[in-house]
Amino acid sequence: MSIYSKELEVAELAVQRASILTKKVFHEKAKGTVSKDDKSPVTIGDFGAQALIIQAIKKNFPNDEVVGEEEASTLRDDHKLRDQIWALVEGTKLADAEAEKVLGGPVESVEAMLDAIDAGNSAGGSRGRIWALDPIDGTKGFLRGGQYAVCLALMVDGDVKVGVLGCPNLPIDDSAPLAADAGVDQTDAEGKGVLFSAVSGQGAVSRPLGTAGLGKGQPIHMKPVNDITQATFCESVEAGHSSHGDQHAIALKLRISKPSVRMDSQAKYGSIARGAGDIYLRLPTSATYQEKIWDHAAGDLIVREAGGQVTDTLGRRLDFSKGRTLAENKGVVAAPIAVHDHVLEAVKEVLSKK
Ligand SMILES: Nc1ncnc2c1ncn2[C@@H]1O[C@H](COP(=O)(O)OS(=O)(=O)O)[C@@H](OP(=O)(O)O)[C@H]1O
Ligand SMILES: [Mg+2]
Ligand SMILES: [Mg+2]
Ligand SMILES: [Mg+2]
């Protein structure tokens, strides 16, 4: 058995199971509510997915810690919301009983569910085995029927060793063209749903997300960029999360004329790792915002294992050992190794003129 194979299997199946829950939430509760600005579907999906994933981690690796985005305090008082989430958590299983057994079985009770959610309270840091979990990344994309991701990574002594991204609304086909999110319904119809994963030093793979255990993964690679002017950027939908203006200036500097493809979530990392896009920039919009480790850990490893380089806008590797945030980094520059320096130079030039 290769190193981290058990962790990888548990992470992949846990993300698969949680993705089933998020899809159920979307179809039963989210569809059509977006215009009413109803936040509850995403809340239900966030809590439910976090409970299912932490349950599987704790059953298999009881001493591991988890840095999870959500915490259950509001749920302990809001019984209506709590019961809605419990109904989903209780009712979500993998279609393959053997795979379900690998996860250690269902969450036993409402109380166990709340405890599992709260077990995501690790402070993070540079010591030991710590998982980073974003149960739904790209909450706006989720509500819109666009891109979102269920994200899980294992860090050991501050270094990401295993990364898994469940992307229910991305095409299964690694060579399918990239589609921008805004205004496009990209929900989990036939041909959609991909699971990306990587282990440090062992490469990155994709496979259909599915519902019943794991088929064979296909190795994925970033696309070689021979002519930077033909590259495609992936960027955030929200201008508040990454500066669209700076992105445009950098594209001009690199003489890139293709429009950026905007999509939510770590689906951006998965998309460039499989060669559907080329470069992902996250350009700080405020001097004080610190990126959260759960928004980047899995994607960082998957891109690096697919032949990419990931740094911040100053050229430093992302440092996941500083706690719950990337306290020592500013923004993200992810690109194929061969062109990363060139892209970073343009990023630095544009940002230094501000
Ligand atoms: N100001 C600011 N700057 C940078 N990032 C921020 C900021 N505010 C929030 N967030 C985090 O962005 C996560 C979603 O990132 P995306 O790349 O999907 O953004 S976007 O929705 O496409 O704009 C989102 O993750 P989720 O909450 O899991 O959706 C947030 O953690
Ligand atoms: Mg997130
Ligand atoms: Mg989230
Ligand atoms: Mg959030």
Residue 233 has pLDDT above 90, yes or no: yes
CATH classification at residue 263: 3.40.190.80
> Strand 261-262 vs strand 233-235: parallel, antiparallel, or unpaired?
parallel
- Are 52 and 199 found together in one domain? yes
Per-residue confidence band for 38, with pLDDT thresholds at 50, 70 and 90: low
Q: Of 37-41, 66-70, 349-353, where does mean pLDDT reach its minimum?
A: 37-41
- Are 144 and 206 found together in one domain? yes
Instruction: Average the pLDDT over 93-113 and give the result.
Output: 96
Distance 139 CA to ligand 1 centre (A): 8
Annotated binding site for Mg(2+): 69, 134, 136-137, 295
- Are 207 and 257 found together in one domain? no
- Are 214 and 310 found together in one domain? no
Contact assessment for residue 307 and residue 225, using Cβ atoms and an 8 Å cutoff: no
The one catalytic residue in 43, 92, 139, 313 is 139
Nearest to 254 by CA among 341, 354, 179: 341
- Are 196 and 162 found together in one domain? yes
SS3 263: coil
Residue 354 has pLDDT above 90, yes or no: no
Phi/psi of residue 121, nearest 5 degrees = -95, 15
- Are 51 and 184 found together in one domain? yes
Residue 189 has pLDDT above 90, yes or no: no
The number of the ligand nearest the C-alpha atom of 139 reads: 1
Residues spanned by the domain of 291: 228-352
Higher model confidence: residue 277 or residue 215?
277
**Dihedral in degrees, nearest 10, Cα atoms 301, 260, 210, 41:** 100
pLDDT in tens, 242-260: 999 999 999 999 999 999 9
Mean pLDDT of the chain: 94
Q: Of 76-85, 104-113, 241-250, where does mean pLDDT reach its minimum?
A: 76-85
- Are 47 and 114 found together in one domain? yes
95's tokens = 């279609």
Residue finishing a domain among 187, 219, 251: 219
Contacts 24+ apart (CB under 8 A), 87-90: 88/21, 88/24, 88/25, 88/44, 88/48, 89/21, 89/48, 89/51, 89/52, 89/113
Distance 134 CA to ligand 4 centre (A): 8
Annotated binding site: 69, 134, 136-137, 295
Distance CA 249, CA 295 (A): 25
Ligand 1, pocket-test mutation among 69, 236, 241, most atoms within 8 A of CB: 241
pLDDT in tens, 126-182: 999 999 999 999 999 998 899 999 999 999 999 999 999 999 999 999 999 888 776
Residue finishing a domain among 219, 240, 255: 219
Contact assessment for residue 88 and residue 21, using Cβ atoms and an 8 Å cutoff: yes
pLDDT at 128: 98
Residue finishing a domain among 197, 219, 241: 219
> What lines the ligand 1 site, CB under 6 Å?
69, 134, 137-140, 236-238, 240-241, 264-265, 285-286, 289, 292, 295
pLDDT at 35: 42
Residue 184 has pLDDT above 70, yes or no: no
Q: Of 16-25, 32-41, 130-139, 272-281, where does mean pLDDT reach its minimum?
A: 32-41
Kindly provide the ipTM of the predicted complex, given to two decimals: 0.96
Structural domain count, the chain = 2
Distance CA 100, CA 3 (A): 22
- Are 248 and 192 found together in one domain? no
Active site residue 46: yes
> Strand 192-199 vs strand 204-208: parallel, antiparallel, or unpaired?
antiparallel
- Are 232 and 211 found together in one domain? no
- Are 310 and 334 found together in one domain? yes
**Dihedral in degrees, nearest 10, Cα atoms 82, 88, 90, 94:** -150
Instruction: Average the pLDDT over 189-194 and give the result.
Output: 90
Residue 36 has pLDDT above 50, yes or no: no
- Are 50 and 161 found together in one domain? yes
CATH classification at residue 62: 3.30.540.10
pLDDT at 39: 58
Distance CA 181, CA 178 (A): 9
Give 142-188 as a DSSP string: HHHTS--EEEEEEEETTEEEEEEEEEEEEES-TTSPP---TT----S
